[in-house]
């Protein structure tokens, strides 16, 4: 254990801090699933709250009640450094805006679905150097395929969304999976079906499970 992080923080706790840094924002209820699925150490709600408080006390997370529901943790600059991200001089790490906050906490749940299936997850921040024209929300790497992940909550203007889909498909030998809400599903589906067959076969459109749609 590094001297910088006292003994009260285990390697598991530091791993949770890295997950928060990669996600950008996470609900405490999501951390309970992170502990169970990634670290095989399920905790009662009281234990999860205590873990979150330890991360706050050691400067690796901020905790606030920004939206309805369980409290939300978002990373500090130290947490981003712990996760291996370069933090520019003078770069300000602030509370996420409401729109991006909702996006981040839902995407964290989507990530767990892929990891539960055995995929390695690469977060948006880690993809910045490889994707210049458009930055996908994540990349799920399976042994036999790589899947770009997009979370579409509101439904972008059709032409813009089509350009994003084509940019993703032309960026490499990737599959593309969209996770959508009822209001955005039909927009994505219409574009998917309009693609040439060889591209359409690489695009999948899923409705978000109600349990993660907040």
CA 139, 141, 143 angle in degrees (round to 5)? 165
Residue 192 to residue 161: CA distance in whole angstroms: 10
Domain end among 81, 96, 111:
96
* Residues 194 and 132 reside in one and the same domain: yes
Are 175 and 108 contained in the same domain? yes
Alpha-carbon radius of gyration of the chain: 18
> Which pLDDT score, from 0 to 100, does residue 90 have?
65
CATH number at residue 153: 3.40.91.50
Q: How far apart are CA 4 and CA 27, in angstroms?
A: 26
pLDDT at 38: 86
What local confidence, expressed as pLDDT, does residue 184 receive?
92
Q: Are residues 110 and 208 in the same domain?
A: yes
Instruction: Indicate which CATH number applies to the domain containing 19.
Output: 1.10.10.10
Among 96, 113, 134, give the residue marking a domain's end: 96
Q: Are residues 71 and 168 in the same domain?
A: no
Q: How far apart are CA 172 and CA 99, in angstroms?
A: 29
Asked whether residue 90 falls in the same domain as residue 172, the answer is no
Half-sphere exposure of 135 (CA within 13 A, CB side): 9
If one counts every other C-beta atom within 10 angstroms of the C-beta of residue 182, the result is: 10
Ordered mean pLDDT values, 10 residues apiece, the chain (214 residues)? 61 95 95 91 92 95 86 94 84 79 94 95 93 94 97 85 94 95 93 96 94 68
Q: What is the pLDDT at residue 2?
A: 47
Which ranges in the chain belong to alpha helices (H)? Answer: 11-23, 28-38, 45-57, 77-82, 98-116, 158-170, 182-194, 197-200
Q: Which domain covers residue 152, as residue numbers?
A: 100-214
Q: What is the pTM of this model?
A: 0.90
């Amino acid at each position: 254990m590094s001297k910088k992080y006292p003994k009260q923080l285990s390697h598991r706790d530091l791993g949770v801090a890295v997950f928060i840094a990669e996600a950008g924002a996470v609900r405490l209820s999501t951390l309970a699933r992170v502990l169970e699925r990634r670290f095989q150490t399920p905790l009662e709600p009281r234990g999860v709250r205590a873990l979150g408080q330890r991360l706050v006390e050691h400067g690796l997370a901020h905790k606030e009640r920004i939206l309805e529901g369980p409290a939300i943790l978002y990373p500090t600059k130290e947490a981003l450094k712990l996760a291996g991200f370069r933090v520019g001089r003078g770069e300000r790490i602030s509370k996420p805006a409401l729109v991006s906050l909702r996006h981040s906490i839902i995407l964290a749940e989507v990530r767990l679905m892929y990891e539960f299936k055995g995929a390695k997850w690469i977060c948006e921040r880690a993809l910045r150097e490889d994707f210049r024209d458009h930055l996908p929300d994540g990349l799920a790497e399976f042994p036999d395929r790589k899947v770009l992940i997009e979370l579409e909550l509101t439904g972008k203007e059709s032409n813009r969304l089509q350009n994003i889909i084509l940019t993703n498909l032309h960026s490499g030998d990737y599959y593309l999976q969209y996770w959508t809400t009822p209001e955005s599903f039909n927009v994505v589906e219409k574009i998917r079906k309009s693609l040439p067959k060889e591209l359409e076969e690489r695009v999948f459109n899923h409705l978000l499970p109600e349990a993660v749609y907040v």
